[in-house]
Structure formats: structure tokens, C-alpha cells
Structure 1
Amino acid sequence: MQPLAFAEQVDDSSDLPLPVHIEADRIDGYYQQEIEATGNVHMRRGDKTLSADRAKYYQNSEDVEVEGCVLLERPDDTLRGTFLQMNLQTDIGELRAPFYTLKDSSGRGSGDLLLLEGKDHYRIKKARYTTCPEDNHDWYILTDDLEIDNEKKVGTARHATIRFKDVPILYLPWMNFSFSQERKTGFLSPIAGNTSRSGVEIALPFYWNIAPNYDATITPRVMSRRGVMLDNEFRYIGQGLGGRVLFDLLPDDLVTHSTRYGLQLDHSQFLGAGWYGSLNYNRVSDDNYFRDLGNNILFTSQTNLLQQASASYFSKLGHNGMVTFSALMQQFQTIQDSRAPIVSPFKILPRFTANAIKSDVYGMDFEFASSFTHFSHPTLPHGLRFTAFPSVTLPLENSFGFIRPRMGLHYTRYDLNKPVAPNAGDRHLNRTVPIFSLDSGIILERDTKLGGRNYIQTLEPRIFYTYIPYRDQQLLPNFDSAEMDFSYAQLFLERRFSGEDRISDANEVTLAVSSRLINSANGSERLRFSAGQRIRFDERRVVLTSPQVTRAGSDFIAELSGSLTDHIKTDAGVQLNQNRLFVEKVRTGISYNPAPGKIVNAGYRFTRDVLEQIDLSTQWPIAKRWQGFAAMNYSLRDEKLLAGLLGLEYNACCWSLRLVASRFMTATSRSSTNIFIQLELNDLLRIGNNPLKVLQQSIPGYTRINLQ
């Protein structure tokens, strides 16, 4: 018999039921009462499609009974079973021997009985759940009762056991998980690990989705050697504002028998009318807090914790100018190492700055920078400092070159609490320094081809001259000046010191050239080579400290950065002292990255009489599904391993296992060893201590393979 179709026609504007379409090998029934279909049955009502061997449909109640290879297709899921009884209007019913698949998350499972409890809601008795593909049962959840909410994309399991390779690894009387990217309140995956200073650690984070624009994570952290610590994170975002608060509290350290804490507050806000404000406050209870309780070299290497509040104002000054104003209060908590104590920085209480820029005024650009700062220190001379630096530039530019003469006058005044030197009686000091520079360059271009690709190659010679007369500054305090790192970019700066307390004398010229390889198709820069030489006509006389040595003559610097090939990138630089014919600084780095998950990094850093270090790191497949990790930072000067890492990662289709061990120096003669073991069940949870941040920091270019 040919398939027959049935349709109940209704008025779409009425509240009558949606039409039901039925196709089958045979259809029998009674008009407006019931319909029985057998053989290749296909039913459709709205967005639901039902297939089976046999079906009976009751028109008055819209109930349906289906048996034999039942398949129910809905927008969010697919349900299979042996017998289905449900109401097509209310989506209430039951499915025996169910198999279910969640379409968005690829989650799937089975059970003894599936209870349909309305649109987008159902409950499964004696259920299994996994995100592994068909015919794979590496891990799954066994639960007495599993509730699926397709509207909220949330699953709730009661008396749940997580099994990995058929071995129970975790039991939870209640668990709630999301199969979407939306946030939800509930416990996160437990964290377990081990460090040499804290012992075995176990933590159970609780995530609180307070509102769409703010949330909190509260994490009890049990450490075998230290006690119970409470880690708290609060995040918020609003109209023109946002921030984060971290507060960690250890009420009674079992080793030090003291209360220990760490606080980090970061807030920024638009105040209106061109005003912006920010607050960055960091504090810990003691000097050894990070060394004892941290598991990351970025924390343990901190020496000064910033405590700062600021407000700033921006406004246009005509159509080609800008004026800015700022207020700042700043101090630091200095983390001292008893074996290598340091002097804490000056407090800024407060600093006011006012700057203005006005371009193209009769062909000239005018700038004005000023500041008023109160410095404070418990032991060193301190006081007030006022600076003003007006300058004018005459830019002469066209499409292939430029000449920019610039003239400025830097004025500084100090009012100190006591003289800097014991024999200097004046506490009120002034300094006025004229500053002149002339910057010029040419940009030449030509078309070229490399590896079958079209490029634009540039040749950019540049000459930069600076003249600053000498001013004796030995009696001036040094609140914030330091010598800037010598680099190719620094060749074209007028001053070699940061801050305002030291202005170097200069009578020198920089001769430099750079060449860039630019992709003709998209304008991206492929490779850059730069070289420059600073020639000094007079010996430098201004120093930061009296033992500092200056020399006349010249320094040569060269840098190479970019992609040597499609898979090899480099960033390298060298500084030569041509007077004594030796190398002052070397910075080299090269990366080989042929594919995601395959990377090798090598680097070398050298600063004469300061440091000599090598950096090696890699992420590389060592067998099918296996990844290996290694990283090393070694001081050749001290013959000491500063940081090291070894690890393995196994990636299956629906889970990953990571084992990572790291060791790093926390002080001049102290080190910390951390062990990370993490099992990640894709789209569900991670069990163990998370090594991902350590891998990302230790191995530049690290890629999570299970996300590929």
C-alpha cells in the first residue's frame, strides 16, 4: 500500500493545536477520534519529528503512543527508545530504554526511563552521561537521577559517580553542570596538587553567578603543611566601570602560627566630562607570602606591590590639539628578601601633571609638559619637585622623507626636607637645561619577490642629532630616574634617563638604517632589520651615582625581527662597544612553529658584568596523542638553574591528562618545586591542579591541542 498523508488543518490565528502530519505504509482510524499508523511511520508537529514502526494518535487529547525503533527529533536533542507515550501539545510523557543526544554540546547518554516534563525539560532514571563520541565510553557519569534543562542548558545529577576507564574517580551526592558557554552558580571542578612549601593541596571552588554583570568565586584551599586558606575573587562590570577584587586569607598558618593574607584590587571608571579614574591596590601580610603560598614564578619574583589611585582628564584643544591633566597618589609595599635587601621606592603623595599639544600653528608644533610632585621616604631626603618643559618642533615632511628640528627648555625646582649631601646647605635647588634635537630620514621603496610572493622592500636611512649642555646635578636628589635600556628605538630619544631628576648632557649623532619587507597583498610586515651607531663628540659627565663610568666614543646596535620563513620567527639584537671592541649586550630569540602544538624556542641574553642566561622551551608530539613539554632558564654566570619545567600531556577524543613538574627560584638561595596533575573531561570538568598558566608562561606559543 502506498504511504498516506494526514493533516489536520487549523487557523494559525486561533488557539487551536498545530497540525499533525502523518505518513506510513498503512493508516487506519476513526474520524476526529484516533488514528493508527503502521510501517515506516513518520509524524511531524511543529518543530518535532517522530519516527517509529507503529503509532497511535488520539486527536482529541493530542496523546500519542509509539513503539518499535522510536526516534524523536527536536531542535535541541534527539531521543531514541523502544516505547514512547507523550502529549504532543504539552511535551509530557515517558520513553522507555532511552538513548539521548544533546545537539549543541554533543553530550549523550542512556538510561532506564526518560520522563518528559514539558518543553525543553526531561528527567532520566538510572542515567549515563558523557561527551565522548559514539562507541567510546572512556568516561561517563552514572547517576540515579539526571535532569536536563535545554532552555537553560543545564544538567543536574543526583547521587552521581564519575567513572574514568570504568574506574570510579569521584562521587558527588549532587552536581550541576552546564553544557553551554553560559555562566551558572555551582561548584567547579576540585583542584589537587602539591608544592614543596605548602604540601598537598586540595581546593573546591564555588562559582556564584550573582548577576549578569558581576560574579564571585569562593575557593576553600586545604594545604597539608599550612592549614585551610580561603581564596576569594569578585568581578564586576558596569556602565563605564569595571574591576576585580582578589582576597586570600589563611587564618592560622601551621608553620608561622600567624594570620596571612593577600589583597589585589583593580578598578577603573569613566567619571564623565572627560574624566577617568582608576585604583590599583595590592598588599600581602608578610615578605614570604608569595614564596610560601604561591605556585607561579610571576608571583614569587615580585618585589614591589603597587598601591596607586589616579584621575585623569582629556580634552581637545581646537581641531588639532589636546590638553591632559592627571592626579596620582602612589606607594609600594616592598617585598624584602633578608639575604638581598633593597631600598623601597619613594612615595608619591601626590603628583599633578598638566600637558598640552597644539599642532600646525604657522607650520609648527607646540608642546608643554609640567608636573608637581610631593615625594616621601622614611630614610632618604625627600620633598617637592616642580618641572616644566615647553618645546617647539618644525616638521618638514613629504611622502619620502622628513626633517624635524626641535627645541625645548626643561626647568626643575626642588624644595627638600634636608640637603642631599651632608655638606650641601641649600634645600631649595633649581636646574634649567636647553634641549635641542634634529631628526631626519628618507624612505625608499622597491618591489621585490621572495619565495614566489610579492613584497615591498624599504630602505630607510636616518640621522638624529642631540645637543644638551652639561649641568652639574650631583646635589640633586634622584626620586625616579634610571638609565633606560639601550635599544635601537632608544637611539632616537633625546634623553637616556627615565624620570625627571637626571638629564644627561649630550653632543652626539646617531647614524642608522633600517630595511623592512612588507607583504604587497595585505601590507603586513614580514621582516625588519635595523642597525645604528651613536657617535659621541664629547664625554658624558652626568651620572646617576658617583661610581658610574661614562665613556666617549660610540656604540653600535643591530636588531633583526620578524619571520625568516613561514615557520621560523626571530627577535634578536646586539650592542657593541667599538672603543674596547667587545660586546655589551646580546638578546637573541628564535622560534620554530610548523603547526599548532609544535614549537621550539631558544634564547640567549647577555649583559656585561650583569647576567648571562639561556632560555630553552618546547612543546612537541612524542607519540600518537602524546605531547611533551620542557622549559629551562639557566644562568651561565651563576651556574644555576633559575627555572625548569618538564611535562607530558595525553589527548584522547574527549579527555586530556596533564602531568607537569616545575621548579623555580624564589629568593637568592631558596627554590620551590610544584607538581601539577590534571584530568580534563571535555565540556564537563577538570580534576586536579591546573598547569595551563604555567605552560603558557614557560613556553611561548604553547597551544592546547584538545581545542584544535
Structure 2
Amino acid sequence: MPLNPIRIAGGIVLALLLAPPHAARGAGGGEEPFYLDADTLTHEAAGDTVEASGNVRIRGRGMTLLSDRAFLFGDKEEAEARGNVILMRDGDTLRADRIRLNYRTDTGVVENGAAFMPKGNFHLRAQQMEKRGPDAYRLERGVFTTCDGDNPSWKFSASEIDVNAEGYATGKNALFYVKDVPLLYFPYLIYPVKRERQSGLLTPRTGNSSKKGFMVDLAYYWAISPSQDATFNLDILTKRGTGLGVDYRYIRKRGSEGNLRGFVIYDTEQQRFRGDLSQRHQEIVSDTFNLKSDINLVADRNFYRDYAEESGVYNQSQLETTLSATKYFDRHILSGEFRYVQDLREEVPDNRKTLQKLPTITLTGIRQRLWETPVFFSFDSNFINFYRREGIKGQRLDLSPVLTGYAKPFGPLEAAAWVGYRQRLYYAHGVESGEGIRGSGLFSAGTSLSSTLSRVFETASPTMPRVRHVMIPEIRYNYVQDRDQESLPFFDYNDRIVHENRVVYSLTNYVTGRFDRGDEPPEYRDLLYLRIAQGYEFSGTRRDLLTLVDEKRHFTDVQVEAAVHPHRLVSLSTDLRYNPYRTVLSTVAVSADARDEKGNAAGITYRHARDEVEYLEAKASLALFSPVFATYANRYSFDRKGTLESFYSLEYRHQCWSVSFSYRDRPDTNEFFVTFALAGIGSVGKIRAF
């Protein structure tokens, strides 16, 4: 007959065999009680034995146990469950014929057990699972896999598996199976089983390269502390030698963090040491003071072309190293920075003529109101020490105070006007005119008039019932004094400020849609951004950093910036400039991206600058033939009349394993990769064919 729930003081503490002891405590510090349901319940005074049978259900401490029968032996402090035993805890499930536990000694046995852990899709079976203490276990004739089904695609088996207090599992006489075919035999295996990070050897990587020869990459992961870890690599390259690498990561208090990575090798082909070093750190000393470092150094300018694989690394033209400190005040920001540039271009023989900024000191005054007037005062100032081994070097002090006034003359119109003065002072070395102090001051002024017009439109669409359109027309005038600056030293473009006497008129549009989602809050998504602008230069002299300009032509290029999102999975963007005199596009930057919920994606980008560069990049990922996935990417240069890089990848994804083939083609190298991975285990090999 049904029995009301009763409290059990001891209970079954096995909890999937691996549950830590005393994990569940009551509010008063004691262990949470267990509750028992069963069809029948009997108690024998001799031995203090309780027997429950028929639809036994025991719950408590975050677990539930179901079985045909259950016994509590009070004098032995033991519990046992028999027949169709199912134990569930935190989403994990253990099925067994029999479970027995001594909750005084924290030992127990599971017979014919099969455990499933959804996190990682782990399946574990063993004829006997034995718990030998709080953190010691033994499994006999065990089988492990992350594949579903009675006949998994792969599995590991071992005659004995021991788990120790340090969190490592060791197996004897282990076999790796594909289906039911044994392929690999391991007399002894060791593997970390704790969910926390564990130190240990990582899967080796082997391969072959036309530049490096046969390769073996041996890696060791060191879990130093909860806030630090490091990976060490030993790279054996038959054509280049043996390299050593380290990747160290850490987190500090107040959110400070950083990492240090380096690689060094004695290149036997070039008979010299080669390598690189990178370090990044952010030290938050207080809410108003922080330190940053971003160090990037390489032993020689060709190192990345010989050893790097990723685009943007192997073909980069320079490296920058910066060390900075920033202090925030109520109305000012003070910062100092050391910036060192390492030029990697082939046409530059060395770094002796590369200009360095050691240091730059900047003081910025945040815009603040002058008394109760609508006028605001702000300023920018910086001091730079320019240094290089060969060439002009020296110092520059740049001061730029500005007064800005705001007003709303009438209605929705907003007006602003500003006036400023920029003073530059120099002390240069190595100039033909001799050393000494030089200076130049430039007057600047401007004004703007704009308005913000907004309207909400009702639509007939049930999914997008409203659309909001915001339109901002603006006219702006800028003036910079025309003054001869040829007597000043030239370090960068801030030493040759171009005279400006220009009016710019623009129209900016924003379109935002409201999408209703039933009971959920509505979603607001930007549908369109469009800005059209053109200027008229009264002097006809100007400088454009993006493209060549036509001297003595008053009208500037028409600039069009747009971003369109017709669907949440589709985006289009463009930034182009049209020359009204030549009736040609001076610059073009167009991109389109689309994707779907299944993993299909495509994108294309085109960039053009007149007489400078013309470049096309395309990429696509196809999941149409799942479980086969394909990826393609190509970068083509029209001005160089050739392909910069092509990449092809084909991957087969099974429920518990995957294999991928990839091919990368660059002007200086071709590479082919094969990667095989087991779910829950990771990559078990990466082969570079050539």
C-alpha cells in the first residue's frame, strides 16, 4: 500500500558515486534529510534494518533514486538499492543492477553501471564501479565514449581505471575502437578528470611543410593557480631546428589582466636565432588611474613571412609597441605614452630612419561651461619627443584652446559656433637650417546649423507595425588660417596643416523598425543609415587622406555612407566618394553579408581608391549538405593582378567526431591540413601535408 513520505537521517549518499561527501547542508549546518516513497515498508528491530519495496523513490540533497527494492542497515551504516536502479543528480543519470554504500566510510559499489552526463555527452559503462573513499574510485572493465547509440562510432575501453584524489584517471590495457574494431592499444593512459583546469601534456601535433620540413609540436599545459596558467611548446622542425614557445596568462585584482607570449628558435637554415615576443597588460591601479602595455617585437623582419600562418600576421608591414599611463581628473585627462615602431617592409633595410615617439604627453581639458553663459571652454595639448637614429629628430609642443557656443535660435534649429587657436613650438636637430626653436600659430573658427526631424509611420505589417524615421540636415563651415609652414620641421601631417575655408552640407537619415514578438518585449532594429555630404572649398586647396584630390577644384567629392539591414540576418554597407569633375568614383568600399539559422553564410567586400588600390575579398560557408560543411575564402588584388590568398575547407561532422581538410594557397607557400577530432577529447592530430 502507498506509504506517506518519512524522513531518513542517514540516507543513500552515493549520489552517482562521484558526489563529494557532505555537499548538501541544511540551513542550520546539518545535512539535508532524505524522503522515501514505496509501495511497502518494513522495519526489523534486530540490526535496525528498513526494507522498502515496490516503486521505491528516494529524494533529497539534489538527487533522486528509483529502484525495485531498497535497504537501510542502521547498525552497519549502509544503504543498498537493487533492481532497475536509476540515480539522477544535476542532470546526470546512473543506471545499475545494484548499488551499495557505507556512508560512514564513504565507500560503495555499483554493479553493471551505465552513467550518462549531458555536459559533454559522456557515456560511461563498467561491470563494477567501486568507491574507495571520499576521492578515490576504481572502474573494472570500463568503456567510455561521447557517441550516442548501442554501437558507438568510437570508444575507449580499459581493464582497470583508477581515479585518485589529485583528479587524474589512470587506465591499464586501454584500447581505442572504431565501431567494434580495435585500432590502437595503450598499456597505460593518464587523463585529468576534474572539471577544474589540470596541468598535463596536450595532444601532440605533427605534420610536414616545404619551409619547415617534418614537424612535431609537443605542448604542456600548466595550471599554476586559479588566476594563472601557461602553455609551453617544443617545436621540432627538421629543416629549421628546434623552437621553444610559451604562452602565459594571468588575472589580477580590480580587473587587471595580461598575457605574455614568445617563441625562439635557432634557424639552422639561416644559422641565427629568430623569434618574436608579445606582451599585453592592463593594470587598473584605481578608478582614476591605469597603466597599459602592448609590446610586439620580432627578431627579424622576415620572421612572420617564414613562420606565421594567419592572414594579417604573415603580411603585416609594421609592429607597434606602446607603454602608457592615464590619470583622470574631474575636468582633465593626463596621459603619457611611449610608442616604438618596428618597420617590416622589404624596401626598408633597417629601422634606423623609422620615426619613434618617445614619449608623448597629452593633457586634455574636458569641455566646461563658462559661468552661466552658453559658452564652453576646452583644450587639447600634447608634447612629443621624436627620435630616430638617422634623420631629423626633435620635440614638438602643440597647444589648441577652443571656445564653443551653443544656441537654439528658433524652433527645432540648433546652432553652434567655435573659435580656436593652435600653437606649435619646435626644437629640431639635424635640419638644414640649423638647430633652434621655431613656432607657428594658426587661427581656426567655424559654425554649424542643424535640425532633428522625426516621425513614426504606421505600417500594415503585423510583424513590423511601426517604423521611425529620423532626418538630420546640417550645414557646417570650417576655417583654418592660411600660413606658410615650410620653415617648420616635418615629422608627420600635423606639421603641415592645410588651409581650410570650406562649407559642408549633409543630410543624415536613420530608419528604425519595431518588431512585435507576441508576449515578449518588442525588438527595435536599425533598418537604414544613410548620410550624403559634399563640401565647397573657397580656396580650392585641400588634403584628403583617403584618396587623391584635384587641386583648384572647389567642390569636394560627394560622400555617401549607407548601412542597410533588410533582414536581421542580412546586412549591406557602403562608403563611396564620387568626383563631380571627373564623373568617376574616387573611393569605393562595399560589403554584403548574409547567413541563415542552419550555418550557411556568404560575404563579399570590394575596396577601391583611385590610383592607389583595388581589392576584392569573398567568403562563403555552406551547410546545405549536412553533415558535410564547406568553407571558401579568396582575396584578389586588381592592382597587383593576382590572388593574394585562397582558402578551402571541407569538414565532415559526426555526432561525436569530425574530420576536416583545408587547403591554403598564398604566393609564397601552399599548405594542406588534416584535422581529426573526437567530441569531448579534442583534436587528436593536425597534419600539414606540404
TM-score normalized with structure 1 length: 0.84
Give the alignment partner of residue 332 of structure 1, picking from 308, 331, 341: 341
- For residue 311 of structure 1, report the CA deviation from its aligned partner: 1.4
Give the alignment partner of residue 221 of structure 1, picking from 226, 235, 256: 235
What residue is the counterpart of 1:352 in the other structure? 361
Mapped pair 1:550 → 2:537: no
- For residue 50 of structure 1, report the CA deviation from its aligned partner: 4.5
SS state at 1:509 partner: strand
SS state at 2:312 partner: helix
What residue is the counterpart of 1:494 in the other structure? none
Residue 311 and residue 455 in structure 1: after superposition, are their counterparts in 2 closer, same or farther (change >3 A)? same
Identity %: 22
What residue is the counterpart of 1:254 in the other structure? 268
Contact 1:205 1:219 in 2 (8 A): yes
What residue is the counterpart of 2:517 in the other structure? none
Give the alignment partner of residue 110 of structure 1, picking from 114, 117, 125: 125
Q: Superposed, which structure 2 residues align to 1:143-542 within 5 Å?
A: 143-147=158-162, 157=171, 160-165=174-179, 166=181, 168=183, 171=186, 173-178=188-193, 180=195, 182-240=196-254, 241-250=256-265, 252-272=266-286, 274-316=288-330, 322-337=331-346, 345-361=354-370, 362-397=373-408, 400-419=412-431, 422=432, 424-425=433-434, 427-449=436-458, 452=461, 453=464, 454-481=466-493, 500-520=494-514, 523-540=524-541
Letter in 1 for 2:529: R
Q: Which consecutive residues of structure 2, in runs of 5 or more, have no partner in the other structure? A: 11-25, 515-521
- For residue 338 of structure 1, report the CA deviation from its aligned partner: 5.1
TM-score normalized with structure 2 length: 0.86
Higher alpha-carbon deviation: 501-510 or 333-342: 333-342
- For residue 232 of structure 1, report the CA deviation from its aligned partner: 0.5
Cα distance between partner residues in 1 of 2:351 and 2:30: 80
Residue 81 and residue 410 in structure 1: after superposition, are their counterparts in 2 closer, same or farther (change >3 A)? same
Give the alignment partner of residue 650 of structure 1, picking from 649, 652, 661: 652
Contact 1:179 1:683 in 2 (8 A): no
Give the alignment partner of residue 620 of structure 1, picking from 616, 619, 622: 622
Contact 2:660 2:675 in 1 (8 A): yes
- For residue 68 of structure 1, report the CA deviation from its aligned partner: 4.0
Cα distance between partner residues in 2 of 1:523 and 1:15: 51
What residue is the counterpart of 1:680 in the other structure? 677
- For residue 437 of structure 1, report the CA deviation from its aligned partner: 1.7
- For residue 392 of structure 1, report the CA deviation from its aligned partner: 0.7
Residue 646 and residue 363 in structure 1: after superposition, are their counterparts in 2 closer, same or farther (change >3 A)? same
1:10-67 Cα offsets, whole Å, 9 max, x none, are 6999999966847356857554444556665555676565544555543210334554
Bigger RCO (CA 8 Å, 6+ sep) = 1
SS state at 1:174 partner: strand
Cα distance between partner residues in 2 of 1:447 and 1:61: 77
For these two proteins, the number of residue pairs brought into alignment is: 654
1:579-602 Cα offsets, whole Å, 9 max, x none, are 222221111111122325111111
- For residue 502 of structure 1, report the CA deviation from its aligned partner: 2.2
1:349-395 Cα offsets, whole Å, 9 max, x none, are 22222121232222111111111211111222111111111111112
Residue 205 and residue 571 in structure 1: after superposition, are their counterparts in 2 closer, same or farther (change >3 A)? same
- For residue 633 of structure 1, report the CA deviation from its aligned partner: 0.7
Residue 75 and residue 431 in structure 1: after superposition, are their counterparts in 2 closer, same or farther (change >3 A)? closer
Q: Superposed, which structure 2 residues align to 1:9-158 within 5 Å?
A: 21=36, 23=38, 29=44, 31-35=46-50, 49-53=64-68, 56-75=71-90, 77-102=92-117, 104-118=119-133, 122-135=137-150, 137-147=152-162, 157=171
CA-atom RMSD in angstroms: 3.4
1:131-155 Cα offsets, whole Å, 9 max, x none, are 2234351222223433468x99875
What residue is the counterpart of 2:20 in the other structure? none
- For residue 513 of structure 1, report the CA deviation from its aligned partner: 0.8
- For residue 622 of structure 1, report the CA deviation from its aligned partner: 3.6
Cα distance between partner residues in 2 of 1:119 and 1:49: 20
What residue is the counterpart of 1:694 in the other structure? none
Q: Which consecutive residues of structure 1, in runs of 5 or more, have no partner in the other structure? A: 317-321, 482-499, 666-670, 692-708
Contact 2:427 2:435 in 1 (8 A): no
SS state at 1:300 partner: coil
Residue 280 and residue 566 in structure 1: after superposition, are their counterparts in 2 closer, same or farther (change >3 A)? closer
SS state at 1:476 partner: coil
Residue 163 and residue 442 in structure 1: after superposition, are their counterparts in 2 closer, same or farther (change >3 A)? farther
Residue 75 and residue 646 in structure 1: after superposition, are their counterparts in 2 closer, same or farther (change >3 A)? closer
What residue is the counterpart of 1:638 in the other structure? 640
SS state at 2:305 partner: helix
Cα distance between partner residues in 2 of 1:541 and 1:68: 89
- For residue 632 of structure 1, report the CA deviation from its aligned partner: 0.6
What residue is the counterpart of 1:696 in the other structure? none
Cα distance between partner residues in 1 of 2:460 and 2:166: 53
- For residue 265 of structure 1, report the CA deviation from its aligned partner: 1.2
1:70-111 Cα offsets, whole Å, 9 max, x none, are 434445743333344332444412223322223544312112
Cα distance between partner residues in 1 of 2:352 and 2:552: 28
1:421-453 Cα offsets, whole Å, 9 max, x none, are x4x456432111111122221111122256722
- For residue 603 of structure 1, report the CA deviation from its aligned partner: 1.8
Contact 1:503 1:542 in 2 (8 A): no
Residue 325 and residue 83 in structure 1: after superposition, are their counterparts in 2 closer, same or farther (change >3 A)? closer
